[in-house]
Amino acid sequence: MKYPVNEIFQTIQGEGYYIGTPAIFIRLQGCKVACEWCDTKYTWKNSYENQILNEEIIKKEKSNKKWSYMTTQNIILIIKQLKWTAKHIVITGGEPCMYNLLDITTLLEEKGYFCQIETSGTELIECSLNTWVTLSPKQKKTTLKSSILRANEIKFPILIEQDFLYLKKILHMIKKRKNNLIFLQPISQNEKALAICIKKCTEKNWRLSIQIHKYLQIR
Ligand code: SF4
């Protein structure tokens, strides 16, 4: 199985449950959701004129529309060549669940890695049973019920108070489940959204996710 990889890099997970964890990020190309505030718009289209060689992906100094088809073996080789030490892999996008992730998550687990997927939940989630699924619902496109049920954590982006209405609908589906992990994440470090999130997290005993990588100005 080949995946269209936009970038691959080692950093610190800056959001959600695994915040602060050293991680290797694999960003896949392609997304059909089109959120206005998306900070990875360069991943939306898989245009063939932007296809590059595997070696060029690791030379990318800044994020752009270029991408390359890679097998999981190609990815493992890069990790070994670059002597990256993180054992936590984050498969993100774009929307990574546009692709069947069973192959990549299974093979990486066999090599001793723990996999996490960051998804909008708008596509069927196909991955290993042990994969941690971070669901970040986007109101632009319906979140599948199967994604809500599979999620290990829900990291909900907030800009204005009305955004909670969609979260409420989602939580209704898992109301019988105990210990749901709910994170509120202010969109684009917006100060008003941050204040709304702090207030709501305190009221509901949810957690705040503030994208520490953006404050630290790391990738
Ligand atoms: S789902 Fe994610 S990658 Fe796709 S448009 Fe929305 S924020 Fe961007």
Q: CATH code at 183?
A: 3.20.20.70
- Would you say 136 is a known binding-site residue? yes
| Helix pair 102-110, 72-81: axis angle to 10 deg | 40
- Would you say 30 is a known binding-site residue? no
Mutate to test the pocket of ligand 1, among 7, 40, 136, 142 (most ligand atoms within 8 A of CB): 40
Residue 151's pLDDT is: 98
Per residue in 28-64, pLDDT tens? 999 999 999 999 999 999 999 999 999 999 898 889 9
Mutate to test the pocket of ligand 1, among 27, 28, 38, 159 (most ligand atoms within 8 A of CB): 38
Per residue in 196-214, pLDDT tens? 999 999 999 999 999 999 9
Residue 61's pLDDT is: 85
- Could you tell me if residue 16 is left (phi over 0), alpha (psi between -120 and 50 degrees) or otherwise beta? left
CA distances 116 to 1, 19, 90, 188, Å, are 19, 12, 5, 22
Per the CB < 8 A criterion, the answer to whether 145 and 173 are in contact is: yes
Q: Count of domains in the chain?
A: 1
Cα–Cα distance, 117 to 100 (Å, whole number) = 12
- Would you say 137 is a known binding-site residue? yes
Helix (H, G, I), strand (E, B) or coil at 196: helix
Which range of residues forms the domain containing residue 12? 3-215
Ordered DSSP codes for 125-145:
----TT-EEEE---TTSPPPH
What's the chain's average pLDDT?
97
Spacing, Cα 95 to ligand 1 middle (Å): 7
Any residues with Cβ below 6 Å from ligand 1, and which?
31, 33-35, 38, 40, 43, 93-95, 120, 138
Smallest CA-to-CA distance from 90 within 181, 148, 35, 18 is with 18
Spacing, Cα 199 to ligand 1 middle (Å): 26
> Is residue 19's pLDDT more than 90?
yes
Spacing, Cα 98 to ligand 1 middle (Å): 12
Structure tokens of 104? 């990549």
Mean predicted confidence (pLDDT) in 170-187: 96
Determine phi and psi for 91, rounding to 5 degrees: -100, 115
Mean predicted confidence (pLDDT) in 53-77: 95
Per residue in 101-158, pLDDT tens? 999 999 999 999 999 999 999 999 999 999 999 999 999 999 999 999 999 999 999 9
Q: Percent of the chain having pLDDT more than 70?
A: 100
